[in-house]
Structure 1
Amino acid sequence: MRGIFYMASTKLIVLKSKEIIYTVIFLGLVALFIIILTIMFKKPATVSETASSNTASETTEPSYNPGTYDSTITLGESTLSVMVTVDDHSIQDVALSNLDESVTTMYPLLSSSLEAINTDLQYVSSIDDLTVSGDTKYTSMLLINAIKEALAKAVVQ
């Protein structure tokens, strides 16, 4: 009786050192790309998240003399007035006066930044709690500083 024998063949895989190095570099670049994408598309904290975290901690609200107070911003050769309307404890509205077409054309983010600040003020208890987006960071900071200057006039002594 004959037995059936299977011959196992051994396969050898030959890797060249260049292939190993290229593979390691490629995997490193893929990992770096994933890290960069994660950092770029990380979602910033929203105003509602900031407001909810602020309600958990007890803060003292400033006391204002109700009315409308102003401060000025100089943009190029134009001077704008930032009008801040307050009640006893909060900011009700922020508006720009002396805003003409040339200023709006030269500084297109001014109006949208002001609208965003007015919207965000409904959800936060203080001007210091506002978060600004990266797109309008400098314009928003300019407006926030002008609002703070006007609020300094409104604070009860």
Structure 2
Amino acid sequence: MSNTKIVILRMKEIIYTAIFVGLGILLILLLLIMFHPGKSDTTKETPEEANKYTPGVYTTEVALGNTTANLEIVLDSDHVNHIKLVSLDDTVETMYPLLSPTVEDISKQLSNGVDVEHVVLSQESQYTQTLLLEAINQTLQKAELPN
């Protein structure tokens, strides 16, 4: 029987050692995950990246068939504040009823920090949104600060 006790004591030692090795590996993995530079550290803006645009109000014309609509874009130094249609004729509003809601939707997305390439297009006004996004993108390129 004394032989049996020695085997049990050795088995306990093996189990304790395996538990401590497992906890040690878990601790090392936890430390690596905690102190590994993630995406949040690499996306921090440097002062040079914070100033992307020349602040101001920019107006561009959007061709809609035989007429045009004026699109006003208000920019901060780092993002779009607001986009709206300026002096829109009743005839243009009647002919293109999705124009105003589409501009409002794009304005909300861009003022919330969404990039122009990542604006979500809706199915019912996809063509109108694409047309407006092209005009907005061209205006933002004109407003960008030179590197």
Shared topology, TM-score over 0.5? yes
Which residue of the partner structure matches residue 118 of structure 2? 129
- Cα drift, residue 98 of structure 1: 3.2
Residues matched between the structures, number: 104
User: Measured at CA, do residues 100 and 57 of structure 1 come closer, stay the same or move farther in structure 2, by a change above 3 Å?
Assistant: farther
The residue type equivalent to 2:97 in the other structure is P
User: Measured at CA, do residues 140 and 57 of structure 1 come closer, stay the same or move farther in structure 2, by a change above 3 Å?
Assistant: farther
- How does the TM-score come out when normalised to structure 2? 0.63
Picking from 138, 142, 147, the partner of 1:153 is 142
1:94 paired to 2:94: no
For 1:64-143, what aligned pairs fall within 5 Å after superposition? 64-143=53-132
User: Measured at CA, do residues 55 and 86 of structure 1 come closer, stay the same or move farther in structure 2, by a change above 3 Å?
Assistant: farther
Residue identity over aligned pairs, in percent, reads: 32
Structure number with greater CO (CA < 8 Å, separation at least 6) is 1
The answer to whether the 8 Å contact 1:90/1:125 transfers is: no
SS at match of 1:134: coil
Runs of 4+ in 1 over 6 A off after TM superposition: 54-57
The answer to whether the 8 Å contact 2:79/2:113 transfers is: no
Give distance in 1, aligned partners of 2:57 and 2:105.
20
Deviations 1:81-126 (A, max 9, x none): 2111101100001111231100010000000101111111233341
Give distance in 2, aligned partners of 1:91 and 1:71.
15
More deviation in 126-135 or 84-93?
Answer: 126-135
